[in-house]
DNA sequence: CTGAAAGCGCTAACAA
DNA sequence: TTGTTAGCGCTTTCAG
């Protein structure tokens, strides 16, 4: 155990101290940047440290201080553009504040999420940024907090946790998007999501639920009947989603417009529409969430709901760090950022098309 | 310092030991899964641990063993699809082997890369997976290895480092793509990359350099003259790249085909092409690297060079872990995976078009 | 099979 | 301003 596994032993503070001819406490003080030290002593220590290529051992420091300067990030899928942007912003913000980032992926699987939190806790991250998979199975998060590891919620709300939350105003965003479609005389508007199709409404993560709510509200406000079949919960299997979409598009009263709850879902929809030769925006209109870079490059460019996820992630990280440093110890607060619609041409008036049924009611199944 | 910052003190092995009526050494043995322990003793310890909701402290364990069970990952840009996929594969593979992942982003900035490595080293990650920004400024990597922190290279080669390397056969991939364009009678083929435009050829990261080499070789093999102006190094500024592309496309002898070295570059190109009303594949043909999900959804679907980045990242992670565990201590090896072209319709014959100059030489400036 | 004790590298009282 | 001395929670000889 002497060698510690590392072949060339790392120099420690003790080595530096000896080389500088001071006590290790003194060396530690100057190297750690705390406590007092004489100017000349300082210099000697720094010199010795450089000479030995000393690298502080954060692990040992963490042991002694009880803080690891690491924050854990738990999200569903790093490959998803939305989360990728979030993680990027988190890393940037964290490292600007001297924190490292340990990343875990859950794939929307609550067991993986539990494992992830356990591992992060074992590694004594100072805090957690979580985009929870479930709004009801949150015992592990409560556990984390009980163990003194605070967390903030990103993108998804879980009121019972009573934690600082950073989310998009999904209700409003969806409402606005649907309202704009209605203004273009669309009456049969479908909402397409990759939310799980089984299970209670209650199980939906808040973002999707709120978008559905916004969708319903907009229809309701316009006096349009809500047709359950037009709300597609595709689940995480894209093949299944594609199948549902094909069926919907081939039905007698196919929708004239779609609202996709994220860009990957929109992609599936796009493929189905092409397959069925339903051109945008002539035959159908489309708005999707997420201003993915490709949405501006397809033909026609897609009208999107742009979400300020980077700002959101940055705010979440700063908030967490502030709390870790003892500032901002108030009650849980919720930060809701507004999305903005970017009109790009995938929406056209339903009136321009010949064979569109315009009866408001009784049209659905 | 008693309370350690955490409000509710975490139970330690000592607590569990006391509760189980054994020595902490014994408790440690059963909880740590090493050394001997009587069946009944084991049980008592486990019970006590569960009762107290004991969570091992990986930090303390790392201190004692010298291994943190963490690997550091250093890439340029997490938001880039290619790296996002890589990271996903790394995390999956690492956690399947009991390792955590600390992520750092460099933005292709060598200073940030240095910082990142320093922080990771300070946190005593057991090993590093790096996609280095520079093929010459690698002292920090050598330093890492000297300190006993091994690393593997992902996506980019740096021969002087003599490290295990996992990369795509970029030369062959580019060669193949260009050859296929040539077979379609294209003679003016442009290569579009986001490599930095200043600096020596030498400074290019290996992946881009090899693609350019493959491009040249394919032209050379076909007896086509290489026109420097057709090799675009756009740098990291998309506006600049767009400007160059516009200029190129508006020149007298605009290219009839493009090879884009990644999907984000292809996106910029796509926008310029539409702006100038150059439709694909009628007016120009296009092949791009990276099978991004959107490439199949645009009109027309893009012919792409699909890179097995997930496999690559997985192999890199497994290799690193094997080395960490003392297996596979042989000399540095290089793993080169082949990319595959996916034909999707963004390429058509140059002959089919009327006004295309076919003189092989003297066409460029 | 179990316990005592030393030590990993650092921080933080407390003395000097 | 500097040094001494305990720990942080765990692993790991070494005795028993």
Q: How many residues does chain A have?
A: 365
Residue B362, pLDDT > 50, answer no
In angstroms, the CA of B93 and the C1' of C1 are apart by: 37
CA distance B97 to chain A (A): 12
Q: How far apart are CA B66 and CA A8, in angstroms?
A: 13
Contacts of B66 in chain A (CB under 8 A): 1, 4-6
Closest CA to B289 of B188, B152, B155, B131: B155
Q: Given CA atoms B269, B271, B274, B280 in this order, what sign does their dihedral have?
A: positive
Q: pLDDT digits over B102-150, tens only?
A: 999 999 999 999 999 999 999 999 999 999 999 899 999 999 999 999 9
In angstroms, the CA of A16 and the C1' of C16 are apart by: 23
Q: Which of A6, A56, A57 is nearest residue B148 as measured by Cβ atoms? A: A6
Closest CA to B253 of B353, B357, B181, B183: B357
Per-residue pLDDT, averaged over B262-269, amounts to 95
| A95 contacts B122? CB cut-off 8 A | no
Q: Which chain B residue's Cα is nearest to A270?
A: B297
Whole-number pLDDT of residue B299: 86
Residue B294, pLDDT > 80, answer yes
Q: Point out the least confidently predicted range of A292-296, A314-318, B155-159, B233-237.
A: B233-237
CA distance B188 to chain A (A): 24
Q: Is the peptide bond before B310 cis (omega within 30 degrees of 0)?
A: no
Interface membership of B279 toward A (CB under 8 Å): no
| Helices (H), ranges, B252-345 | 263-275, 309-324
Whole-number pLDDT of residue A75: 97
Strands A285-289 and A257-260: parallel
Protein CB footprint (7 Å) on chain D nucleotides: 1-5, 7-13
What DSSP line would sit under A72-97, residue for residue? EEEES-TTSHHHHHHHHHHHHHHHHT
Q: pLDDT digits over B321-346, tens only?
A: 999 998 767 889 999 999 999 999 99
Adjacency order of strands within the sheet including A127-130: A334-337, A165-168, A151-154, A127-130, A70-75, A100-105, B100-105, B70-75, B127-130, B151-154, B165-168, B334-337
| A87 contacts B104? CB cut-off 8 A | no
In angstroms, the CA of B236 and the C1' of D10 are apart by: 47
Contacts of A298 in chain B (CB under 8 A): 294, 297-299
Where does chain A show beta strands of DSSP type E? Answer: 70-75, 100-105, 127-130, 151-154, 165-168, 189-193, 231-233, 257-260, 285-289, 303-306, 334-337, 340-342
- Angle at CA A306, nearest 5°, toward A302 and A310? 140
Ordered domains of chain A (ranges, CATH): 2-65 (1.10.260.40), 70-168+310-338 (3.40.50.2300), 170-307 (3.40.50.2300)
Q: How far apart are CA B20 and CA A72, in angstroms?
A: 32
Whole-number pLDDT of residue B223: 96
Interface membership of A161 toward B (CB under 8 Å): no
Contacts of A62 in chain B (CB under 8 A): 59
CA distance A68 to chain B (A): 9
| A56 contacts B123? CB cut-off 8 A | no
Interface of B with A in 317-356 (CB under 8 A): none
Interface of A with B in 40-59 (CB under 8 A): 53, 55-59
**Would you say the C-beta of B36 is within 7 Å of strand D?**
no
Contacts of B4 in chain A (CB under 8 A): 66
Contacts of B102 in chain A (CB under 8 A): 70, 100-103
**Would you say the C-beta of B6 is within 7 Å of strand D?**
no
Please, are residues A253 and A357 in contact by the beta-carbon 8 Å criterion?
yes
Q: How far apart are CA B253 and CA B267, in angstroms?
A: 22
Q: pLDDT digits over B70-82, tens only?
A: 999 999 999 999 9
Q: pLDDT digits over B50-101, tens only?
A: 999 999 999 999 999 999 999 999 999 999 999 999 999 999 999 999 999 9
Q: How far apart are CA A81 and CA A74, in angstroms?
A: 15
Task: Give the three-class secondary structure for A283.
Answer: coil
Please, are residues B257 and B189 in contact by the beta-carbon 8 Å criterion?
yes
Protein CB footprint (7 Å) on chain C nucleotides: 1-5, 7-13
**Bridge-partner residues for A259, per DSSP?**
A191, A287
Q: How many residues does chain B have?
A: 365
**Would you say the C-beta of A37 is within 7 Å of strand D?**
yes
Q: Which of A6, A100, A147 is nearest residue B119 as measured by Cβ atoms? A: A100
A116: tokens are: 């992830």
CA distances from A361 to A41, A247, A258, A351, B60 (A): 85, 21, 18, 17, 67
Contacts of A91 in chain B (CB under 8 A): 78, 103-105
Q: How far apart are CA B311 and CA B90, in angstroms?
A: 10
- SS3 of A23-78: the string is CHHHHHHHHHCCCCCCHHHHHHHHHHHHHHCCCCCHHHHHHHHCCCCEEEEEECCC
Task: Give the three-class secondary structure for B30.
Answer: helix
* DSSP H/E element including B72: strand B70-75
Q: pLDDT digits over B164-189, tens only?
A: 999 999 999 999 999 999 999 999 99
| B100 contacts A270? CB cut-off 8 A | no
Please, are residues A103 and A78 in contact by the beta-carbon 8 Å criterion?
yes
For residue B37, name the pLDDT band (cuts at 50, 70, 90): confident
**Would you say the C-beta of A10 is within 7 Å of strand C?**
yes
Give strand letter and number of the nucleotide nearest A44 (CA to C1'): D2
Residue B95 has a CB neighbour count (10 Å cut-off) of 17
DSSP A17: H
| B88 contacts A79? CB cut-off 8 A | yes
Residue B365, pLDDT > 60, answer no
CA distance B220 to chain A (A): 33
B98: tokens are: 């009991």
pLDDT < 70: residue spans in chain A: 1-9, 199-202, 328, 352-365
Interface membership of A213 toward B (CB under 8 Å): no
Give strand letter and number of the nucleotide nearest B29 (CA to C1'): D11
What DSSP line would sit under B94-151, residue for residue? HHHTT-EEEEEE-TT-HHHHHHHHHHHHHTT-SEEEE--S-SS--HHHHHHHHTT--E
Burial class (CB in 10 A: 0-12, 13-18, 19+), A110: middle
Q: How far apart are CA B80 and CA B207, in angstroms?
A: 15
Whole-number pLDDT of residue B356: 44
A87: tokens are: 């993680």
């Amino acid at each position: 155990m002497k060698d510690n596994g590392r072949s060339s032993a790392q120099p420690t503070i003790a080595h530096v101290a000896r080389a500088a001819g001071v006590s290790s406490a003194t060396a530690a003080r100057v190297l750690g940047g705390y406590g007092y030290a004489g100017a000349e002593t300082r210099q000697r220590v720094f010199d010795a440290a450089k000479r030995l290529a000393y690298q502080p051992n954060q692990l040992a420091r963490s042991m002694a201080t009880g803080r690891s300067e690491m924050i854990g990030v738990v999200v569903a899928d790093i490959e998803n553009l939305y989360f990728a942007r979030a993680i990027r912003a988190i890393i940037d913000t964290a490292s600007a504040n001297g924190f490292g980032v340990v990343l875990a992926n859950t794939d929307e699987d609550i067991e993986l999420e539990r494992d992830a939190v356990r591992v992060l806790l074992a590694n004594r991250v100072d805090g957690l940024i979580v985009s929870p998979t479930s709004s009801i199975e949150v015992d592990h998060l409560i556990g984390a907090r009980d163990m003194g590891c605070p967390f903030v919620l990103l993108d998804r709300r879980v009121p019972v946790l009573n934690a600082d939350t950073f989310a998009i105003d999904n209700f409003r965003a969806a409402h606005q998007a649907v309202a704009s479609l209605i203004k273009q005389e669309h009456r049969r508007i479908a909402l397409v999501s990759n939310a799980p199709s089984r299970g209670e409404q209650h199980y939906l993560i808040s973002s999707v639920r709120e978008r559905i709510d916004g969708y319903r509200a907009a229809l309701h406000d316009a006096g349009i009947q809500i047709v359950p079949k037009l709300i597609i919960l595709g689940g995480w299997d894209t093949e299944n989603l594609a199948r549902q979409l094909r069926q919907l598009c081939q039905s007698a009263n196919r929708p004239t417009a779609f609202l996709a709850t994220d860009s990957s879902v929109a992609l599936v929809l796009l493929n189905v529409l092409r397959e069925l030769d339903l051109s945008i925006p002539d035959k159908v209109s489309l708005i999707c969430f997420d201003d993915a870079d490709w949405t501006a490059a397809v033909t026609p460019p897609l009208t999107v709901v742009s979400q300020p996820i980077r700002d959101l992630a940055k705010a979440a990280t700063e908030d967490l760090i502030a709390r870790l440093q003892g500032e901002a110890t108030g009650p849980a607060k919720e930060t809701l950022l507004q999305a903005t619609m970017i009109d790009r041409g995938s929406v056209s008036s339903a009136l321009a098309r010949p064979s569109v049924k315009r009866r408001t009611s009784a049209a659905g199944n």
